[in-house]
Amino acid sequence: MQHARGERPILFLDIDGVLVVSSSVERPDGSWWPTVGLVEGAAASVGRLAEAFDIHWATRWGNAANTDLSPQLGLPMLPVVELDRPDTQWTKLPAVMQAVGTRAAAWIDDDLGPDEWAWADHRREPTMLVQTDMIEGMTERDCEELLAFAASLLR
């Protein structure tokens, strides 16, 4: 695998199912109420990842990720992978492939399919995929694995 030393890897970061999750809370009357919110510790985890990666939003939120979420996470405006092309209606892969070029990369998403895994396996550049559970979102273990990947590129 090839990697240009000194060049930080890209981290393609999804939002729904990674940083924002939904769950249900039981109300006193026994009914259930849906809740949506940031994963606990999301700001700290993303802050740590931003020290090791050039983060690019890879989300259907588009630039709303910058306006609505970046301030909550203490992030600057980040590049956004354009997902509004006809070939990205059902998959983010073509847009991610175009955005990554020949750089080392990691991608964290709750919806990675066989095509994404095959692409990662066959890239010449170091590539790591992390699939989250859409209910749990990004965990501390996911964050640590991503940081270990980035650190391995410095050796």
Strand partners, 35: 23
Which pLDDT band holds residue 1 (cuts at 50, 70, 90)? very low
Which pLDDT band holds residue 85 (cuts at 50, 70, 90)? low
What is the tens place of the pLDDT at every residue in 7-46? 899 999 999 999 998 776 677 887 776 667 889 999 999 9
Superfamily the domain 10-152 falls into: HAD superfamily/HAD-like (3.40.50.1000)
What is the tens place of the pLDDT at every residue in 98-149? 999 999 999 999 999 999 999 999 999 999 999 999 989 999 999 999 999 9
Which pLDDT band holds residue 4 (cuts at 50, 70, 90)? low
- Domain positions in the chain: 10-152
**β-strands 105-109, 10-13: how paired?**
parallel
Say which residues have a Cβ less than 8 Å from residue 114's Cβ, sequence separation at least 6.
Answer: none
SS3 assignment, position 53:
coil
The 3-class secondary structure across 61-90, one letter per residue, is CCCHHHHHHHHHHCCCCCCECCCCCHHHCC
